[in-house]
Structure 1
Amino acid sequence: MTFAVNLYFNKEAESYITDIWAALDKLGKGKCLICYNGRPHITLAIYRDLNLQVAKGRLKLLARDVDPFKLTFLQIGIFPNNKGTIFLTPNLTDDLFQIHRNFHDMFKDHEDQSWDYYKPQSWYPHCTLSTETSEEAIPNVLGQLLKEFSPIEVTIKSIGIVSLDPIDYLFEIELGKNNASTLVE
């Protein structure tokens, strides 16, 4: 089973991005992220296999030591050779890279199971807006995005684990010393 470890946003930011997903879904030019139980996020890592009990314990420790932090999405980007993925790019803050680095340090023993795109020195943090977008459809999707998108500040509030294909939310915990409570388990 494949697992992803994701950072999640405040509710207002999630709603804003979900509205963009809905507008893009009306175009019918890529995979419907809402239809697949998707939730706006930034992925820290994807694993081909993961010991969930060990991972949950480690994420609780990590979450306790990281306070919620802000990012701003100012740019739209494309991974054209990676299933036609269109995404929002956050500003690259110390907080974002620190949580990514600390996470991967804690999970070094799972490195052989992780996808290369998410490893340190290879990671391009992003929030997916459209995937499986054909090359011919990219201009239409970008045109719609230019109508829908304006820069947004988000707060990274929690970290969680999902299984993929289909997406199933397995575990989520709030960030911060004073609010490290489990949201989903």
Structure 2
Amino acid sequence: MADALQLFFDDRADAEVRARWELLDDAGVPSLATRTHRRHRPHLSLALGLAIPARARADLRRDLTLLSLPDLWLYTLGTFPDGQHTLFLGAVADTELLAVHSAVHDVLAGRVRGPAGQYLPGAWVPHCTLAQDLAVAQVAAGFAALLPVRPVRAAITGVGVTDTRTGDVDLLLTR
């Protein structure tokens, strides 16, 4: 994949996620920070595709100013059943977050090249990735390192399109 529409967190929440990345690294579980050489910021992705074109980004810039971006509660530690062995902090999917997700997908509908189905409304699991592409033993070690889970309250301070290969961000909105 190439472009991800992402919500970025306030400094406190960013630091709390980074602290969990460090706990994983200390336990021998390569965190997202290790695998990406710290290119990426802690985030929650709303959409993912091969390309989010400039016109769609311009429309997102306009529409994002009309939305109320809620604080997030990263509340659960989980993994997906897809065989990729990803560890994540799951966000509470309240009505405000689902409304934002739906609104951005209304803007993106039919405009994203190669959209990832797992980020579409109805299939999306809001989360902040901690580690991915792990061996089964690393998943178990990751859970052990991060339990008990302490919820993270994250205020949204920015929205951007990230090139997932380079880590470059086109900021669409800052608060």
Q: Deviations over 1:110-142 (max 9, x none)?
A: 255201110111111111111111112211110
The answer to whether the 8 A contact 2:46-2:119 is kept is yes
- For residue 29 of structure 1, what is the aligned residue in structure 2? 29
Q: Displacement, 1:99?
A: 0.8
Deviating more after overlay: 27-36 vs 9-18: 27-36
- The TM-score normalised by the length of structure 2 is 0.89
Secondary structure of 2:141's match? helix
**SS of equivalent residue, structure 2 residue 33:** coil
Q: SS state of the match for residue 65, structure 1?
A: coil
3-state SS, counterpart of residue 33 of structure 1: helix
**Partner deviation per Cα, 1:43-101 (whole Å, 9 max, x = no partner):** 011111221x2133112112211233212122111114242111111111111101110
Aligned to 1:41: 43
Matches within 5 A, 1:30-109: 30-34=30-34, 35-51=37-53, 53-109=54-110
For residues 106 and 5 of structure 1, the distance between their equivalents in structure 2, rounded to whole angstroms, comes to 12
Where structure 1 has 5 or more consecutive residues not aligned to the other structure, the ranges are 180-185
Identity %: 24
Question: Using the alignment, how far apart are the partners of 1:31 and 1:82 within structure 2?
Answer: 17
C-alpha distance in 1 between matches for 2:29 and 2:89: 17
What is the aligned-residue RMSD (CA, Å)? Answer: 1.9
SS of the residue aligned with 2:44? strand
Hey, what does 1:110 align to over in structure 2? 111
CA distance in 2, matches of 1:104, 1:32: 26
1:32 and 1:6, CA in 2 relative to 1: closer, same or farther beyond 3 A?
Answer: closer
Amino acid in the other structure paired with 1:15: A
How many residues are paired up?
173
Change (3 A) 1:31 1:63: same
* 1:36 Cα deviation after fit: 4.0
Moved more, 10-19 or 151-160: 151-160
Q: Give the aligned partner of residue 131 of structure 1.
A: 132
CA distance in 2, matches of 1:94, 1:44: 15
Q: Which runs of 4+ in 1 moved over 6 A?
A: none
Displacement of 1:151 in angstroms is 1.3
Q: Does 1:150 align with 2:150?
A: yes
